[in-house]
Structure 1
Amino acid sequence: MKGKLLLLSVSLALTSCGTAIKTLSGFKNPRVEDKKELNSYFSELVPNSPTYFVRIKEPGNENEIFQAIGTGLTSEILIFSQSGEKYCYQGVEECSGIQMQSAFKNFNENYSPCKEEGSLKLKSYLEKLLNVDGNSIKLENLPKADYYIFQHWNKYSGSKKRIKEDINWLLELKKKSDLNIAILFVNSDMLEEWGLEKNGELPIKFKKDGDQFTMTFGELPLKK
């Protein structure tokens, strides 16, 4: 499948909302990764903290794979209550980093249950995830908290130093906050178990279109 398009917000990085060029600095074409190696990579960034992985129900299904890749490229902040409701930002600030700061400083003033019909529920979102051993994630597997933030990360969006800085920035916000919230990390790199060739690469081209990027994907490195 060639020429697949995806539109996304210019705000890809947590810590800044600058120009498109600055946002995409360090971005590389996604490569097919090994899940256990990614787990070790993340352990170096955040010791004693697990990372989850995106589940693909039908390995080799291109639409499903592109959807999974897209979740890791957007700047949407996923926040759920312990009861399973998704919470949405109610302010006017478009920068995801400032929205995140608002969550930790004045959560009740800036966030409330999403009003959109059919909003994603925590249970449904957890069904999209697996742990490093390939097991499903249940609510009882999560740490006890009033709210949960799920933050995506991947190796191709920046250097290891930059990824660590973004993660530490987020953990520092949590440390300074009185909000009983747990931060859970989800890897969105392409995985071999998605039906992809080991060490394969997905070419991506960017074109600035107003305040958005048009992203054109090349062919997926599907396993022969």
Structure 2
Amino acid sequence: MTKTPLFILLLLVLLTSCGTVIKTLAGFKNPKVEDKKELNRYFSELVPNSNTYFLKVNKTGNEYEIFQAIGAGLTSEILIFSQSGEKYCYQGIEECSGIQMQSVFKNFNENYFPCKEESSLNLSTYLEKILDIDGNSIKLENLPKTDFYIFQHWNKYSGTRKKLQQDVNWLLDLKKKSNLNVTMLFVNGDMLEEWGLEKNAELPIKFKKDGDKFTMTFGKLPLKK
């Protein structure tokens, strides 16, 4: 069995702060290996006129890279970058991610500032982790000109189709009502067949509660034979 990276454990701890972790786990299914074109069609049916990007694995079948991509797809962290590429972090007092997201569009300048902690993640390094539907790398010059970019991950296994549609529409509605010059970009976090995985196979995941923390244990990756 392979233990999850630390950042997944931290994700689940953060979710407990606004009471959403149980709801999340209640709708959580074992991730299934998906086809990228089918995922693109699934998203376009839910959110017409919106594109989705996909997480990249550089070496097909590399378990470490695949688990890293799965972990990135699980996180609910709000990734915000300025046009110059600097990452912005929430520095208010609210712990619930939903309230933090509302503050992006209602009072961004009061709650979001360049991240204090040293991090190698900036817009350029993040764009290296994702691809478009045709497998092309994403270049900054190809993105819309805007003051800020927000990247939101989504996947099929964390909840129902209806819940995903509600969440995405909620975000787009917040943006529509805001004066903030921002572009929303959606990134799929499902396991992809092109990573060297067996289509429609599942990755078993077990949850364990220890006090107010949850840990996740992954089963064996369904690598393509």
The TM-score normalised by the length of structure 1 is: 0.94
- One-letter code of the match for 1:133? D
Q: Which residue of 1 aligns with 2:201?
A: 200
Q: Residues 19 and 102 (structure 1 numbering): CA distance in 2 closer, same or farther, change over 3 Å?
A: closer
Could you report, residue by residue, the CA deviation over 1:162-190 in whole angstroms, capped at 9, with x for unpaired residues? 00000011111101110000100000100
How far apart, CA to CA, are the structure 1 residues paired with 2:126 and 2:146? 17
- Partner Cα separation in structure 1 for residue 209 and residue 145 of structure 2: 42
The structural deviation recorded for 1:212 is 2.5
| 2:7 pairs with 1:9 | no
Tell me how far 1:19 sits from its aligned partner.
4.7
Aligned-pair Cα RMSD in Å: 1.6
Question: Taking structure 2 as the reference length, what is the TM-score of the superposition?
Answer: 0.94
SS at match of 1:67: helix
What displacement does 1:12 show?
5.5
Separation in structure 1 between the aligned mates of residue 180 and residue 62 of structure 2, nearest angstrom? 40
1:59 corresponds in structure 2 to 60
What CA deviation, in whole Å up to 9, does each residue of 1:97-147 have, x standing for no partner? 111111111101100011222341101100111000000000122122100
Do the aligned residues in 2 keep the contact of 1:54 with 1:187 (CA within 8 Å)?
Answer: yes
Indicate conservation of the 8 Å contact 1:9/1:211, yes or no.
no
Partner of 1:128: 129
Aligned residues with identical type, % of pairs: 78
Runs of 4+ that moved beyond 3 A:
10-13
Quote the Cα distance in structure 1 between the aligned partners of 2:25 and 2:119: 32
CA distance in 1, matches of 2:113, 2:10: 24
Deviation at 1:49, TM superposition (A): 1.2
Q: Structure 1 stretches of 5 or more lacking a match?
A: none
Q: In the alignment, what sits opposite 2:38?
A: 37
Aligned amino acid, residue 3 of structure 1 = T
Deviates more, 1:119-128 or 1:29-38: 119-128
Per the alignment, in what secondary structure is the counterpart of residue 137 of structure 2?
coil
